[in-house]
Amino acid sequence: MKFQATFAIVASYVVAALASTVADVETDVQTISTQTTALDNAINAFPNTGGSLVSALAIHNDAVSLGSAIDQGTSDVSGAPQPFSETDGSAILTAVQGFEPTILDALTAIVTKKPAFQALPIGGIPALVLQDLQNLNTSAFNFEAALIAAAPADLVPTATSVKAAVDAAFATAIAAYS
């Protein structure tokens, strides 16, 4: 009995991990968009001189939250029926393109703020930023790849160009901190 109950619980987790819907993906994209805006605002609000450690750590927390949101999106895209229909694929791609400029801005702004992070009285923040950028890059890379894999054929070129732009922006930001 105990074994059967355990098995049933494990089986239900497996089903939950595999089954997601396009609606889940749309919700995820909305969450990613909100978290991207929060991160971008926090980076831009960090003063060029006299910034605080608390504000720098808030940026780190925003980056971690965004990474989790993106990873959830990747998981739900992978678990959703594929390819997406034309309507769903277009809606999702349009939503992703909606926050693309915000992530690009965040990646430009984080480079601009490097001297401000270096000037903090406690060292190690630029190294933390680099780690966050590398983690976010991996998350974004996997999410974009999942979206391309799920896209209807005619949307693949657009999805691929979004991925190229975001990947390039991450490469620039990571290089600046490496």
Ligand X SMILES: *[C@@H]1O[C@H](CO)[C@@H](O)[C@H](O)[C@H]1NC(C)=O
Dist CA 116 CA 118 (whole Å): 5
- Identify whether the C-beta of residue 133 lies closer than 8 Å to the C-beta of residue 113: no
**Least distance from ligand X to the Cβ atom of residue 165, Å:** 14
Residue 59 within binding range of ligand X, rule CB under 6 A: no
Residue 174 within binding range of ligand X, rule CB under 6 A: yes
Query: Could you say which residues in the range 138-157 bind ligand X, by CB under 6 A?
Result: 138, 141
- Identify whether the C-beta of residue 137 lies closer than 8 Å to the C-beta of residue 103: no
**Least distance from ligand X to the Cβ atom of residue 134, Å:** 6
Dist CA 14 CA 4 (whole Å): 15
**Least distance from ligand X to the Cβ atom of residue 6, Å:** 35
The count of residues interacting with ligand X (CB under 6 A) is: 7
Strands (E), 21-177: none
**Least distance from ligand X to the Cβ atom of residue 100, Å:** 17
Residue 25 within binding range of ligand X, rule CB under 6 A: no
- Identify whether the C-beta of residue 67 lies closer than 8 Å to the C-beta of residue 137: no
Given the rule CB under 6 A, which residues bind ligand X?
A: 134, 137-138, 141, 170-171, 174
